[in-house]
Amino acid sequence: MNAPFTQEFLTLQEIYQAAKRNLPPGPWAYLIGGAETETTVLRNRRALDEIAFRPRVLRDVSRIDSTASFLGRKARLPVMLAPIGGLESIVEGGAATAARGAAQFGVPQMLSSVCQPGLEQTAGAAQTTRVFQLYVRGDDAWVDDFIRRARDNGFCAFCFTVDVAAYSRRERDLLGRFVKPWRARAIEGAAFQAGLNWSHVKRFKDKYPDLPLIIKGVATAEDAELCVEHGVEVVYVSNHGGRQLDHGLGSAAVLPEVVKAVKGKAEVWVDGGFMRGTDVVKAIALGAKTVGIGRLACLGLAAGGVDGLVKALELLEDEIRICLGLLGVTSYSELKARHLAQAIGVRQPDTFSAFPLPPVE
């Protein structure tokens, strides 16, 4: 779905509008929706909107470096394509198309184990930095097979998602009778996911000490401390985009306590409502190393396939560079918590309230 008009996208707002036009009602509702009342979805956005900037002026910002490091590898931005279970419903080619866009622009991709066309085909689609995310649907031998396959196909780290012990009620999907094609893959063997515990983390680190482990779905300082105690390399703050536990805190609100608990002994990543360059800068200032973008990546893919994703990332990069310069910094290392302040949000949040302007008639 490489639209010929992708070069006409001058704003992320236009990419959002094109994606909304292109997607059928079922996939669009899936992209918007969350669990039950969708309170966590709204709090993700509200938490970001209630952070304001404290800019410094008269600093030499004629040269700005917006590149980043991702597990020791260079990335064009401190951004990663977050794992999405149903990319094939958003764009033809699913995860393989996303991989090509990530490679073309220069950011990493985290592949969901329930996303098509699967591990090997996605790895073969493009040469990019990639991480594999697993929903546990089998015993230790089953997990080990995925680890072997991931390593054989060039995935540089492995991730357990841990906020899915029970599958949530996604009421937009239910009301619209949208049957997600990947749903069966997501629930088959779900008892293994429900039984996942810290002993499995210990087993992984004991058996694969040289393979970085990411724990995705951390939402408290207590669990962040346990991650560090178990030798986890990356603590990934996430509430599944508001799709799992309803009435949770927004990710940006949780981030400071997790960063404090980790004490620099592991990297901290975050996702949940991050749509604009200013959102990414806020996360880095709060102590995150990498920001996962899920719905934003989907908007780019839905708007124009590979080209749409690359354009969305280019616009995000432009917003980040502008934000850094206007804050008076030239790199992420100069960002501090003192560049931020709490403020009152100015609009009612929703999934895509980061794109508030109406279409041009």
What residues are labeled active site? Answer: 240
The Cα–Cα gap between 92 and 96 comes to 9
Q: Is it true that the peptide bond before 117 is cis, omega within 30 degrees of 0? A: yes
At 219 the three-state DSSP class reads: coil
Q: Could you give the C-alpha distances from 55 to 203, 307, 328, 332, in angstroms and in order? A: 46, 34, 6, 14
Rounded to the nearest angstrom, the gap between the alpha carbon of residue 359 and the centroid of all alpha carbons in its chain is 27
SS3 content of the chain, % helix, strand, coil (to 5): 45, 15, 40
Measured distance CA(36)–CA(69) in Å, rounded: 37
The type of residue at 311 is K
Please tell me the distance from the alpha carbon of residue 330 to that of residue 306, in angstroms, as a whole number: 30
Query: Rounded distance, CA 184 to CA 60, Å?
Result: 55
Distance CA 135, CA 186 (A): 8
For residue 222, the SS3 value is helix
Which residues are within 8 A (CB) of 216 and not within 5 positions of it... i.e. 6 or more apart? 83, 133, 159, 160, 161, 162, 163, 236, 238, 269
CA distance 107 to 118: 20
Dihedral sign (CA 306, 307, 309, 310): positive
